[in-house]
Each structure stands twice: as C-alpha cells, then as structure tokens.
A and B are shown apart, each in its own frame.
Chain A
Amino acid sequence: MPIPIRDDPMVDHDPANPQVMSAFYRRLFPYRPFFLWLNQDHVPAKLYTHREFAFTLQGDVYIRYNSFHTSDDFKKEVLRLNPSRFEIGPQYSARPRDRKTLAAGALQPQRRELVFDIDMTDYDEIRTCCSDKKICKRCWGFIAAAVKVLDHALRETFGFKHLLWVYSGRRGIHCWISDQHALDLNDDQRKALVTFLEVIKGSKEQSKKVNVRGAKDDADLHPALKDGLDQLKVDFVKLILRDQDCFRSERGWEALLAILPADRDVIGPLRSKWQSSPTASSEERWADLVDAVKVLRKGNTTLFRKYERAMEDVILQYTYPRIDAEVSKHRNHLLKAPFCVHPGTGRVCVPVDPSLVDEFDPDTVPTVGELLNELDRIPPEHVEGGTKRRAEDYEQTSLKPYVEMFEEHVAAILKDGRGVKRALKEESMDF
C-alpha cells in the first residue's frame, strides 16, 4: 500500500516537546533587540547585568535570581536550560547571581520598567461568551477597550512615551513602560499611580465596584476618568449592549439594578417591565433605563443627578480596565518576557500595536508550531559567493512583523536614551 505523500508535511510541534522549544530558542528568539530593550544601550550596563531573570523549566522547576553579563551569556544559558518560559525582574543593587555572597539585605531592587497586567479572568463576571481559560475574538473586546483607555491615560496624563504592549499568549495583555522616569519610580510612587488608575475595586460579594466620587459619592469624576469615560461610552454600546448583550439574561439585568441607587419608584417599574419581557435585548433595556431617568430630570433634580452619575459608574464598571494592581506596585514583581511561548497554547507573546488593538485577533498570533513549520518549508539556501547576507530565520516566518515592531520600539528608546546621555555629558563638561 503506497504511503500517501502530502506536499505540506505538518509535523506536530507541541510546545511541551523540549526539542520544539530548543529549536525556537536556537532559531527564532530575537536576542539582540531583547537585550537592547532591557539594557537601553549597546554596552551592557547595570540595567542588564544586575537584572534578575527567572526560568521555569519543563516540569515546573523554577529558578530565580539568574543574571548575565552579556546577551550571549543569556542565550547560552537559555539554550542550556531550555526553559518553558522565563520572567524578567528588576535591576538590583548588585548582581542577583551573587546574592549568596552578599550581606543580608544588600540585594535591593532598584530600577524596573513600569508594568501592567490585564487578565481576562477579572472579566469573568461580566463576559457572556466564554469563561475561565477560554478567550475568543469577542471577549478580546474587553481587553481592547482596556488597552485604549490605559494607553491614553499613561501617555496623556502621565506623559510616558515608550509603551510596549505584549499579548500574554492566552487571555491577557502586558504593558512595559521603559521611560527613564518610569524606571526610576519607587514602590510608593508606583502604588500611587496604580491607585490613581484603579477604578474597579471590591470583592465578589460587592455589586457596586466603582467608587470614585469621594466619601459622599457625589463628586464629579476626576478629569482623567472623565476622559476615559468619554472614550468608553462608544465601547459600552458596541461591546456590552450589542456584542456581549450583558443585560439580556435575568442574572445580567439584576446585576445592573443592584448597582443603581435603590429608589423604589425608578427600580420597581423597571424590574416588572423587564420580568415581563424576558427576551428584550440589552440595548432595549438600557433605553428603558435612560427613559426612566429622563423623567426624573424635570421633577426631581437631585435624584436625576444621582442616577446620571450612577449610569456613568455602570459604564466604568463594565468597561474600565481591570488591572492586576499587585503586579504594578512593586519593583521586584516578575513578569513573563515578551517573545516567550505560552506553554499552554504554544502562542508567542508578541507585541501589540495599541492603535490597532481592536483588529487584533488572538487566534491569528503565530504558534511555535506554525513558525517551525514555516522554517521547515524554506528551500535550502544557495550560497552565491558567500557575500550575500544570510537572512535571519525569523525574517522568513510570520514572526517578522512582530520583531520589526519590537525593533522600532527599541530604536525609539535608544534614541531617547542617547539624548539623555549627551545632555549629561555636556553638563559634566561645564565643570
């Protein structure tokens, strides 16, 4: 019996297979831009040499406090250990690898990119399409809305320039900020910034999770939140009312009523109306609410204001970024590095352009298997005189646009850094 020959032999590249990961680290991982991104200079500086790397090996062995002199050292170690993923920590006051020879307390975190982590699990109570570890193009809408607001706040309000958004490989997104003054922030300052940005707080047992209007809950929104709200109004209609249809089910609209101020004359009629029309869409229900509140405008202005504010809070509660605050507050928190492979999905943690985040589809992110298959298909090279530059492997795969995006980001950081250095030099010449 003839063996069927496929012209596209799909080899199964399972990320749990050590050889697959080894091939990925050998041929695809972009070491050079990765080094420059962390180091912010061409010569290895403390930002790299005193930086902690933590490796997770196959079989969940966790090795902390690694540090490297050069990018080549790092590459050698990665190839030797062949980790399933690795994380990046702060620049310490000494080399983390030397920690056993140091006096107690001598190893202190000093500088670190400001990082953010948004994870889909925090949206489980409101998303209707998937739950738990799953994610689809539809629930990515929450992440997209969050990224746009957070990106805007970080740039416009806090004045950061060098933001790198990275898909976490499954159901979340990370942000790394490499501005000089972001690196220099101490833990108190990071905490202050996160508290400023953190809007949704409260446990599972608490329905209203947005409390941003002072002690009496009657103040106007802070300008930065108002900015965010204006952006989110559009997403709220598109995402919550239409796509996710959050208030169609009884559980959904009861959750909505629970957040609103408890006034019998407003809530009572709404509840009975919605109970009698179990199939009404979220858009219709929201319109009912808007009408009911509009009536108040003429008679009871105080109550009208109260409901108006509460509706703004609803929009915030359903769409405002739900950040994992602990990750951002402390410099010594470790976060998975960009271009790692997610061990569960095999997808590469690629950079995401925040201006195109709406179009981003996690399902189209290349997996390590696809990339290796692409490499396998490259025809054997014909060496012509040996002068032609041999193309990097990644350039011949679908990883190319992501690496290029990363390189551009790194170039911008380096350019800024050079400017700073030159200014410092000139200053020191004055003496």
Chain B
Amino acid sequence: MFKPTTRHNIASSSHLPEVKLSKRHSTSGQPSSRWPYRLNFYERPPTLDITLEEFETFAIARLQVLSHIESLSHRSLPYAQLSTAIATYLKQHLPLSSNTARNVDLDAERRKDEIGHWVLRLAFCRSPDLRARFLRSEISLFRHRFETDDVAERAQFLRSLEFDWQLVDETEKSQYAHELRTCMPWGTKDEQFKAESWFKVPWYTVPDLVGARRVFIKAGMAYVPQSLQISLVLQAFGSRLEKALELTAKNLPRLDEDERLFPVIDHLAASFLSGLGASDYRPDGETSGAVVTADMVDDVARKHFPPCMRNLYERLKRDRHLKHFGRLQLGLFLKGIGLPLDEAIIFWRKMYGATMSDDKFNKEYKYNIRHSYGQEGKRANYPPKSCQQILTTNQPGTQDSHGCPFRHFSPENLQNFLISTYPQIDRSSPEMRDIMDSVKTAHYHVACTRVFEVTHGLKKGEGLSKDGESVVHPNKYADRSRELEREKLEAVKAKDEDVSMD
C-alpha cells in the first residue's frame, strides 16, 4: 500500500485538519460527508490511502477527459454539439452523478474524480504553459458539470462555498432599476425583473461580462444578476486553482522523492503536451482478424494509411530504402494492421528490390524485422508507436523520413504533400486552412483528424467516432478507415440485394 498523504499536504500547504478516511465502499446512494456534492472546488487535498495503480489509472482517466475536451474546444463546434460530445465522453470515462442518482456508488465516483484532479495538479504545475492548458481544460470541465448539475444541489453547493458576494438590497435595486433593466436581455418582463437578484462584485473579477457590456457597473462595482452567476463561479474556480497551481509548482522540488511517483507524473505531463491521453494501441478482435498480405499493402496504403505512414511508404517505394527509425515506425504499424511476420519479410524484401543483395538482407534486415515481431533477442512484442511517441521521441534528423508530417514538415512541404497525396484537399480550400491553423497552434492531432474527415467524406467535428474522437494512434486511424469502408460495402451490398429482390 502506498500513501501519497504527506506529499499532497506539502504540495498544497493546506492548514486544514487532517481527515483520514479509509477506502470506503458504500453501495448506498447516500453521499458521504467527504463529498456531499457532485461539484467540487478541490480546496482540500485528499488524505486517504490509495494504491499506486489507482494513482495512475485515475489520473489517466481524467487526463483523457481533459485532452478530449481540449481537442474538442479547438474544433469550434456549436455549443450544443460540444456539450453533448463532452457529456457522452464523460459518461464513459469519468462519470459523476448527482445525489439523486440511484444505484450508483457516489463515493467511488467522487473519490476517483478528486484523486485524478490532485494527481494531475502535480503533473501539470511545472511550467506556465502546462498550467495554463490544465487550467483551461479544468475550467471547461467544471463549467460543463456546473451547467448540467441538479439545480437544487448546485444551489446548496454554492452556499457551502460561502462566497463573500454582496447582495444588492431592495433600496439599491430600485435606485438603479432603470440601469439594471437596460443591462438585462431585451424584452425582459416586469415579473422577471422583480424576481431577479444581483450581486455586487469588483468589476475586475468578471472581465468576460465587462468586456461584453453585460453588466451594470458603478463606482468600480459590477452588478451581476443571478442568471449570470456562472461567470462568478468560474472566475472563482479558475483563480483559486491558478493560485494553488503556482503554489504547488513552488513546492514541488521540496516534495520528498519517491521514485515510483515521478515517472508516472512525467509520463502524464508528456502525454498531455502531445495532446493525448496515454494509451497503447491494442488491436480489437474485429480488425485484427483481417490479415493483410504483402501484396495488399499498396492498396491499403492508398486507402487507409494515415499521413505519416503514407509518407514513409511513398518514400520507401521511391528510394527503395528507409532509415532505421522509419523502418521501425512503418514496420510496427504494419504489424498492427495485421501483416504477419512471414508476409512482412516478403514485403520488405520486395520493397528493397535489387538495390540489396539477398545476403545483405538476410544478414542485416531480417533480424530486425523478426526482432520487432518478438522473435529475436528478448522476444518482446513491441506495440505500434502512438502519435505521442511519434511526436515526442526520436526526433527525425536531416536524412530521416519518420515522424509526424504535421509536426516535422515545414508548412509549405506539408501543403505540397497533402495536395499531392489527397485529391480531396486543395491548396486554397477552407479545409486546408483549418489544417494549417491547427498546425500553427501545435494541435497536430486535430490537423490529422481533419485530414481523416476530409478524406472520408465526414463532416467537420465528426472525428474518428461519433463523439468526435481525434487521432491519437496511426493504427486507430487505419482501423477506423477500414471499418468505414466495410460499412460502406455492406450498405452497397444490402442495396444490391434489395434490387435483386424486386
């Protein structure tokens, strides 16, 4: 059993009395005293015992959610679509139910939510850039939960936070009645005005409302109606988290080292930087069943390869050669799409062609292919490389072709590559602009997802799956592409059958 108790306390420098709770498994729907509400400002660091495994898995779950929210927010979806996309993803990866929910282990959900948050704080406090991104995603997540929360429970939660917002009394309300009304949406009825109440806060605590001229301001105080309260809450959530993160960053070097913890934290931060949740590719049953032979590779490449693999394959065809990391990246990918070892050997032999003697191939290259299939050396079955690995490890040198085109190509070369490779993409098309914009802001996976959408006739924002999943692994790109093709084929077949029935 591992206890991160002391670490959390140092990192947050909280003076609250220590509340020690052992792992609790209440199956009743009643919330415990530790987590009375669904929403959480994460003000009190958890001081409970957790296992090392939980430490990592809870954090990864939350990280996936945050990365997903982040990539969604870069796709400028309409608000309603964004909200449902977040909701479906959350339900799957990090559900969090209201007190009214039945048959749910509320404590377990909330415990997971809280621990995940605090572990990620440790991972993301280290650079201003990471802090800003973490903060933005956390605010979006909180906003989503706040908006979807049970009204009564939300009100209770807000009361528990004891904000020192000053309520505008009736005399002041009637004094500024005219001004307050002009700031309400046009066509507000008298009853609505009477029922509304206002908080008075310094104007700079609600910059978004001030910038949009949505509140009345007098002598430095903004009059925020109850209906716009969310701005106040988000502002409070954001500024407290920001301060806490800075404090954690200052204290992190003093955190007494536990060599089991730092690799986990490092890994989490690295994953987030490349815009993805940490996940290895595991081929699922359906697709791995379809075996690819050496002869089929060329056809599959044209239809289903993601840009990085397509690039490597074209290079290989042209130069009859690839450097080591290029061979590795492409080879493992091919293994992932179902090219068996003997077919792989045939494939590579064919590709090198006459430029290489059989002797040389057998001596120097066959071994490496067998090695990557786990047949030599320590016999490890290496998984295909994920986008994160491609983006962050083994940066390509001047002679190398591996890597991610979106990250490692110059903008002009990337454009030329996309145009010559994909007939659906045009130099001046809006899709090209989308792609180049994402590249400029270093959201390579978003750019890649966009390419997937364009080349598969999907609408913007549809992504790899229904909830707008973005590309995190070259093999997922290929799998989904082949799946779509199958669906299309089946649809055609069904139609044909219909026709023949007539």
Which A residues lie at the B interface, using CB under 8 A? 105, 156-160, 181, 185, 188-189, 191-193, 195-196, 212, 214, 218-226
B182 touches A226 (CB 8 A): yes
A105 to B182: give the CA distance in the assembly, Å: 44
B128 touches A223 (CB 8 A): no
B203 touches A158 (CB 8 A): yes
Residues of B close to A218: CB separation below 8 A: 186
A196 touches B213 (CB 8 A): yes
Is B354 an interface position by the 8 A CB rule? no
B204 touches A222 (CB 8 A): no
A281 to B414: give the CA distance in the assembly, Å: 61
A224 to B176: give the CA distance in the assembly, Å: 12
A195 touches B211 (CB 8 A): yes
B218 touches A192 (CB 8 A): no
A223 touches B182 (CB 8 A): yes
Q: A189-B207, A212-B213, A220-B182 are in contact. List 7 more A-B contacts (CB 8 A).
A: A156-B219, A158-B203, A188-B207, A189-B204, A191-B211, A196-B210, A222-B183
Is B285 an interface position by the 8 A CB rule? no
- Min CB gap B202→A, angstroms: 7
Nearest residue (CB) in B for A213 is B186
Interface size on B, residues (CB 8 A): 21
- Min CB gap A132→B, angstroms: 33
For B179, B202, B208, B217, the residue with the greatest tally of chain A CB atoms inside 10 Å of its CB is B217
A154 to B405: give the CA distance in the assembly, Å: 51
- Min CB gap B271→A, angstroms: 23
B207 touches A191 (CB 8 A): yes
Is B406 an interface position by the 8 A CB rule? no
- Min CB gap A330→B, angstroms: 14
Our pick among A157, A158, A196, A219 for the contact of B186 (Cβ within 8 Å) is A219
- Min CB gap B249→A, angstroms: 13
- Min CB gap B282→A, angstroms: 39
A189 to B235: give the CA distance in the assembly, Å: 12
Residues of B close to A157: CB separation below 8 A: 217-220
Our pick among B186, B204, B211 for the contact of A181 (Cβ within 8 Å) is B204
Residues of B close to A226: CB separation below 8 A: 182
* In the complex, per-residue mask of B172-189: 1 if CB is within 8 Å of any chain A CB, else 0: 000000110011001000
Our pick among B183, B186, B208, B220 for the contact of A192 (Cβ within 8 Å) is B208
B204 touches A185 (CB 8 A): yes
Is B444 an interface position by the 8 A CB rule? no
Residues of B close to A156: CB separation below 8 A: 218-219
Residues of A close to B221: CB separation below 8 A: 159
B210 touches A193 (CB 8 A): yes
Residues of A close to B179: CB separation below 8 A: 223
Nearest residue (CB) in A for B220 is A159
A-B contact count (CB 8 A): 60
B220 touches A160 (CB 8 A): yes
A157 to B183: give the CA distance in the assembly, Å: 14
List CB contacts (< 8 Å) of B365-383 with chain A: none
B186 touches A214 (CB 8 A): yes
A334 to B203: give the CA distance in the assembly, Å: 25
- Min CB gap A308→B, angstroms: 15
Given A192-B207, A192-B211, A196-B210, are A223 and B216 neighbors across the interface (CB < 8 Å)?
Answer: yes
Residues of B close to A159: CB separation below 8 A: 219-221
A223 touches B183 (CB 8 A): yes
A–B pairs, 8, beta carbons within 8 Å? A156-B218, A157-B218, A159-B221, A181-B220, A185-B204, A192-B207, A195-B211, A222-B183
A224 to B208: give the CA distance in the assembly, Å: 17
A157 to B210: give the CA distance in the assembly, Å: 11
Residues of B close to A189: CB separation below 8 A: 204, 207
Nearest residue (CB) in A for B213 is A222
Residues of A close to B202: CB separation below 8 A: 181
For A159, A196, A212, A219, the residue with the greatest tally of chain B CB atoms inside 10 Å of its CB is A196
- Min CB gap B187→A, angstroms: 10
B211 touches A221 (CB 8 A): no
Residues of A close to B211: CB separation below 8 A: 191-193, 195-196
For A156, A221, A223, A226, the residue with the greatest tally of chain B CB atoms inside 10 Å of its CB is A223
- Min CB gap A107→B, angstroms: 13
Nearest residue (CB) in A for B212 is A195
B182 touches A192 (CB 8 A): no
- Min CB gap B216→A, angstroms: 6
A171 to B219: give the CA distance in the assembly, Å: 31
Residues of A close to B183: CB separation below 8 A: 222-223
A196 to B217: give the CA distance in the assembly, Å: 11
A105 to B128: give the CA distance in the assembly, Å: 9
A214 to B210: give the CA distance in the assembly, Å: 14
Residues of B close to A193: CB separation below 8 A: 203-204, 207, 210-211
Nearest residue (CB) in B for A158 is B220
A111 to B18: give the CA distance in the assembly, Å: 37
A193 to B216: give the CA distance in the assembly, Å: 13
- Min CB gap A191→B, angstroms: 7
- Min CB gap A100→B, angstroms: 20
For A156, A157, A181, the residue with the greatest tally of chain B CB atoms inside 10 Å of its CB is A157
Residues of B close to A214: CB separation below 8 A: 186
A225 to B211: give the CA distance in the assembly, Å: 13
List CB contacts (< 8 Å) of B400-458 with chain A: none
Residues of A close to B208: CB separation below 8 A: 192
Nearest residue (CB) in B for A226 is B182
A156 to B216: give the CA distance in the assembly, Å: 12
B207 touches A158 (CB 8 A): no
- Min CB gap A114→B, angstroms: 11
Nearest residue (CB) in B for A159 is B220
A158 to B218: give the CA distance in the assembly, Å: 6
A222 to B186: give the CA distance in the assembly, Å: 12
A224 to B223: give the CA distance in the assembly, Å: 13
A133 to B210: give the CA distance in the assembly, Å: 35
A219 to B178: give the CA distance in the assembly, Å: 14
A208 to B203: give the CA distance in the assembly, Å: 29
A214 to B221: give the CA distance in the assembly, Å: 22
Residues of B close to A158: CB separation below 8 A: 203, 217, 220
Nearest residue (CB) in A for B204 is A189
- Min CB gap B190→A, angstroms: 16
The 8 closest A-B pairs by CB, nearest first: A159-B220, A192-B207, A192-B211, A223-B179, A195-B211, A159-B219, A189-B204, A192-B210
A196 to B219: give the CA distance in the assembly, Å: 15
A238 to B128: give the CA distance in the assembly, Å: 53
* In the complex, per-residue mask of B99-125: 1 if CB is within 8 Å of any chain A CB, else 0: 000000000000000000000000000
